[in-house]
Chain A
Amino acid sequence: MQLIPCPWCGPRNEPEFSYGGEPAVRPIPAESVSDATWSDYLHFRANPKGRARELWCHSAGCGQWFIMERDTATHAIFATLKPGAAA
């Protein structure tokens, strides 16, 4: 079990957090996007081994979403950032 530093609350226990996926940018306008592009946005991800940039939510805490940069092969956490903050 790990301590995850919430950008708002500070370090908290891992079970308080939920993983929210690899961020993807919604293609717009949806009605003129091809099926392939839409499917790519919905389903296809890099699933990296090593350094990853992910969305997380402090779901059982303050409820805020944030970005976490961590290593999926070691679970080392590099940074947690408020949305919109530069990497």
Chain B
Amino acid sequence: MKYNALSLLKQGLTGQQGWPQAWRSATLQPRYDAVVIGGGGHGLACAYYLRKIHGVPRVAVLERGWLGGGNTGRNTTIVRSNYFFPESAALYDFALRQYEQLSEALNYNIMLSQRGILMIAHSDHDMELMARGVNAMLLNGIDVELLSAAQVRAELPLANASPTARYPIHGGFTQRRGGVARHDAVAWAYARAASALGVDIVQNCEVQDFIFEAGRIVGLNTSQGEVRAGNFGLSASGHNGVLAGKAGFRLPITSYTLQAMVSEPVKPILHTVAMSTATGMYVSQSDKGELVFGQGLDLYPSYTQRGNFNITQSVVASMLEIFPAFRGLKMLRQWGGIVDVPWDYSPILGPSPVEGLHLNCGWGTGGFKATPAGGYFLAHSMATGGHHDISRPFDISRFTTGALIDEAAGAGIAH
């Protein structure tokens, strides 16, 4: 069914009873041409592009739990492409440009809201570094603007602008094309489009082991039995390292918990995505009215999807220092996701060290904004056996050649 005003009207008049299933939950078949491990946004996007662009006939996505139940459904939905290095800017802006036309292309409203992202500078030193970053981004062709303290105060009237504030406002910068998109909608949009093209989306199907023949991966053992295919894609976020281990190699990645939380819903009080350099705290207001906020990682390896209280406390404290008015709000939910953080904070894309397996790993704390790109370039690697020009610098070989793309230092803030 095509979603449009007419179908909405018709369903409204008939009690919303006639909506067909958006996508088909399939059972595992013994053989495919390509199998993607991990049914998050990236894996689903990959399956869609494998069918749509490369015409690969039989494609499956295997998901251990439920569709989008990993980091895709746990992130704070910020999208932006303000990266320091040209390689990253090309990659993330490719994704943002896909996002800009995704609702049209997939006939599914992903609720992209380009309300802008605004990074606050809290000192003159912050401002100097920010000016340098903004210059680099402009050279990368990314549309960012440096803002004066007065401009930031006008954009964020509730931020503590007192000169004696713990985190005073010295200025900032914005990418107005940045903003938020609905995370579940992105997963469902790709799932629906992939399913319509015949992709099997198999839930509750955990990949347990790899089957090798003559040094090449030819199949998988899963909780639903064996499956064989010509090519495999690894897109399991926090669990990429565990799966790589089973395929016989290691990744330059550590899995950490990243937590986020939301407040009770209130009327509109924040119209952009605010981020703070000194604290790493960021906050936006969802369409439902909740404040959605988070900060940095829980600083040791973890697979718990929880997040520890001392970090929760630090996130809340940072937000209240900057936005004292939020003090009266009650907290509604707090949660964690397992993020795969690479050594240089940039993703690892393309062929893996093992034949038959391709990588879409290391998106870490900031891969929601890159969902269309991760899927697109994983599909490219699986279908052609090699890199697209945009994904080439992100090959795993950079850790040996030394050509790291150090966005941890470059872009400052991760997600």
Judging by beta carbons under 8 Å apart, are A39 and B310 in contact?
no
Contacts of B140 in A (CB 8 A): none
B122-130, B183-191, B247-255: which one contacts chain A? B247-255
A54 contacts B308, CB within 8 Å? no
In the complex, per-residue mask of B229-255: 1 if CB is within 8 Å of any chain A CB, else 0: 000000000010110010000111111
Interface residues of B in 284-306 (CB under 8 A from A): 299-304
CB < 8 Å neighbour of B400 from A15, A36, A54: A36
Identify A15's interface contact among B254, B302, B303, B310, CB under 8 A.
B310
Of chain A, the residue at the smallest CB distance from B239 is: A49
Interface size class of A (residues with CB under 8 A): 20 to 34
Q: Name 26 interchain pairs, CB-CB below 8 A, sorted by A.
A: A1-B308, A2-B308, A14-B310, A19-B299, A35-B401, A39-B400, A40-B250, A42-B343, A43-B252, A43-B343, A43-B399, A45-B254, A46-B241, A46-B245, A47-B245, A47-B251, A48-B245, A49-B241, A49-B242, A49-B255, A54-B300, A54-B301, A72-B301, A72-B302, A74-B304, A75-B302
Which residues of B have CB within 8 Å of A1? 308-310
Chain B residues positioned under 8 Å from A74 (CB to CB): 304
Instruction: Tell me which of A14, A36, A40, A46 contacts B308 (CB under 8 A).
Output: A14
Report which A residues bind B (CB closer than 8 A).
Answer: 1-2, 14-15, 18-19, 35-36, 39-40, 42-49, 52, 54, 72-75
Output the least CB separation between B302 and chain A (Å).
Answer: 6
Given known A2-B308, A15-B310, contact A49–B303 (CB-CB < 8 A)? yes
Q: Is the CB of A44 within 8 A of B252?
A: yes
Of all chain A residues, the one with the shortest Cβ separation from B241 is A47
What sequence of 0s and 1s flags, for each residue 395-408 of chain B, a beta carbon within 8 Å of any chain A beta carbon?
00001110000000
Min CB gap A40→B, angstroms = 8
B299 surroundings in chain A (CB, below 8 A)? 18-19
Nearest-CB distance from A21 to chain B (Å)? 8
Q: What are the nearest 4 A-B pairs in CB distance?
A: A47-B241, A19-B300, A43-B252, A39-B400
In the complex, chain B residues whose CB is within 8 Å of the CB of A35: 400-401
Chain B residue contacts of A44, Cβ below 8 A: 250-252, 399
Specify the chain B residue showing the minimal Cβ separation from A14.
Answer: B310
From residue B308, how far is it (CB to closest CB) to chain A in Å? 6
Q: How far is the CA of A46 from the CA of B302 in the complex (A)?
A: 13
Q: Report if A73-B399 is in contact (Cβ < 8 Å); known contacts: A1-B309, A15-B310.
A: no
With both chains docked as a complex, state the minimum distance between the C-beta of A38 and any C-beta of chain B, in angstroms.
8
Extra A-B contacts (6), CB below 8 Å, given A42-B343, A43-B343, A45-B241 = A35-B400, A39-B399, A46-B245, A47-B241, A49-B241, A49-B242
Contacts of A45 in B (CB 8 A): 241, 250-254
Residues on B with beta carbons closer than 8 Å to the beta carbon of A43: 252, 343, 399
Q: B residues within 8 A CB of A52?
A: 301
Q: How many angstroms between the C-alpha atoms of A39 and B309 in the bound complex? A: 35
Residues of B within 8 A of A54 (CB): 300-301
Q: Return chain B residues, CB-CB under 8 Å to A18.
A: 299
Enumerate chain A residues within 8 angstroms of B303, measured Cβ to Cβ. Answer: 49, 72-73
Q: How far is the CA of A42 from the CA of B399 in the complex (A)?
A: 9
Task: Give B338's nearest chain A residue, CB to CB.
Answer: A49
Task: Using CB atoms, name the residue of chain B closest to A36.
Answer: B400
Which of the listed residues B239, B250, B303 has the most CB atoms from chain A within 10 Å of its own CB? B303
Residue numbers in B under 8 Å from A48 (CB-CB): 242, 245
B309 touches A46 (CB 8 A): no
Output the least CB separation between A34 and chain B (Å): 9
Given contacts A1-B309, A39-B399, contact A47 B304 (CB under 8 A): no
CB of B314 to closest CB in A, whole Å: 9
Closest to A75 in B: B304
**Once bound together, how far apart are the Cα atoms of A8 and B369, in whole Å?**
45
Give chain A nearest CB distance to B371 CB in angstroms.
23
In the docked arrangement, what's the CA distance between A40 and B271, Å?
A: 46
B242, B302, B343, B401 pick with most chain A CB within 10 angstroms: B302
Residues in A whose Cβ lies below 8 Å from that of B401: 35
Within 8 A of A (CB), among B328-345: 343
